[in-house]
Amino acid sequence: MALLAFLVAAAILCGFGYRLLRVRSGHEAAFHVMRCSACSQKVRYAPDRAGSTGLCPRCLRRLFLPETPPPLSKPILPCRVGERLSRKSA
Protein backbone atom coordinates (compact mmCIF):
# COMPACT_ATOMS: atom_id res chain seq x y z
CA MET A 1 0.00 0.00 0.00
CA ALA A 2 2.84 2.37 0.88
CA LEU A 3 4.47 1.58 -2.46
CA LEU A 4 1.26 2.51 -4.31
CA ALA A 5 1.02 5.80 -2.42
CA PHE A 6 4.68 6.49 -3.22
CA LEU A 7 4.11 5.81 -6.93
CA VAL A 8 1.05 8.09 -7.04
CA ALA A 9 2.98 10.87 -5.29
CA ALA A 10 5.90 10.44 -7.71
CA ALA A 11 3.56 10.58 -10.72
CA ILE A 12 1.95 13.81 -9.42
CA LEU A 13 5.36 15.40 -8.78
CA CYS A 14 6.53 14.44 -12.27
CA GLY A 15 3.42 16.05 -13.74
CA PHE A 16 4.10 19.32 -11.92
CA GLY A 17 7.74 19.26 -12.95
CA TYR A 18 6.79 18.70 -16.59
CA ARG A 19 4.36 21.62 -16.49
CA LEU A 20 6.95 23.88 -14.89
CA LEU A 21 9.48 23.04 -17.61
CA ARG A 22 6.90 23.51 -20.37
CA VAL A 23 5.96 26.98 -19.14
CA ARG A 24 9.61 28.03 -18.88
CA SER A 25 10.60 26.92 -22.36
CA GLY A 26 7.45 28.25 -23.98
CA HIS A 27 6.98 28.28 -27.72
CA GLU A 28 6.98 32.09 -27.84
CA ALA A 29 10.63 32.12 -26.75
CA ALA A 30 11.65 29.68 -29.46
CA PHE A 31 10.02 31.71 -32.25
CA HIS A 32 10.42 35.26 -33.56
CA VAL A 33 7.19 37.24 -33.49
CA MET A 34 6.31 40.23 -35.67
CA ARG A 35 3.22 41.90 -37.09
CA CYS A 36 2.17 41.88 -40.72
CA SER A 37 2.60 45.40 -42.12
CA ALA A 38 -0.66 45.14 -44.08
CA CYS A 39 -3.18 43.62 -41.67
CA SER A 40 -1.21 43.67 -38.36
CA GLN A 41 -1.68 39.94 -37.90
CA LYS A 42 0.79 38.47 -35.40
CA VAL A 43 3.16 36.21 -37.35
CA ARG A 44 5.51 33.69 -35.72
CA TYR A 45 8.48 32.13 -37.45
CA ALA A 46 11.42 29.96 -36.52
CA PRO A 47 14.74 31.83 -36.09
CA ASP A 48 16.35 29.79 -38.86
CA ARG A 49 13.84 31.28 -41.33
CA ALA A 50 15.01 34.82 -40.55
CA GLY A 51 16.34 36.64 -43.60
CA SER A 52 13.94 34.89 -45.96
CA THR A 53 10.34 35.63 -46.92
CA GLY A 54 7.07 34.08 -45.81
CA LEU A 55 3.35 34.52 -46.27
CA CYS A 56 1.05 36.25 -43.80
CA PRO A 57 -1.49 33.60 -42.71
CA ARG A 58 -4.29 36.17 -42.75
CA CYS A 59 -3.90 38.38 -45.83
CA LEU A 60 -1.45 36.08 -47.70
CA ARG A 61 0.87 39.01 -48.39
CA ARG A 62 4.56 38.19 -48.80
CA LEU A 63 6.54 39.27 -45.73
CA PHE A 64 10.24 39.71 -45.18
CA LEU A 65 11.21 37.90 -41.97
CA PRO A 66 13.86 40.05 -40.24
CA GLU A 67 16.74 38.66 -38.16
CA THR A 68 15.67 40.83 -35.21
CA PRO A 69 11.92 41.48 -35.34
CA PRO A 70 10.72 44.92 -34.18
CA PRO A 71 8.97 45.00 -30.79
CA LEU A 72 5.32 43.97 -31.01
CA SER A 73 2.92 46.87 -31.29
CA LYS A 74 -0.81 46.79 -30.76
CA PRO A 75 -2.86 45.72 -33.79
CA ILE A 76 -3.87 48.61 -36.03
CA LEU A 77 -6.98 46.98 -37.40
CA PRO A 78 -9.60 45.27 -35.25
CA CYS A 79 -9.46 41.59 -36.03
CA ARG A 80 -11.13 38.40 -34.99
CA VAL A 81 -9.52 35.03 -34.52
CA GLY A 82 -9.76 32.95 -37.67
CA GLU A 83 -10.85 35.86 -39.84
CA ARG A 84 -9.14 35.91 -43.21
CA LEU A 85 -8.98 38.99 -45.43
CA SER A 86 -9.48 38.76 -49.14
CA ARG A 87 -6.49 39.06 -51.47
CA LYS A 88 -7.89 42.26 -53.01
CA SER A 89 -7.44 44.30 -49.83
CA ALA A 90 -3.82 43.20 -49.46
From the list 6-14, 29-37, 47-55, 66-74, the region that binds Zn ion by CB under 5 A is: 29-37
Residue closer to Zn ion, measured from CB, 34 or 39: 39
Nearest to 86 by CA among 35, 44, 37, 38: 38
Quick check: 58 binds Zn ion (CB under 5 A)? yes
Cβ pair 61, 38 in contact under 8 A: yes
CB atoms near residue 19 (< 10 Å): 10
Q: How far is the CB of 43 from Zn ion (least distance, A)?
A: 7
Q: Which residues contact 28 (CB under 8 A, 6 or more apart)?
A: 44
Q: How far is the CB of 28 from Zn ion (least distance, A)?
A: 19
Quick check: 34 binds Zn ion (CB under 5 A)? no
Interface with Zn ion (CB under 5 A):
36, 38-39, 41, 56, 58-59
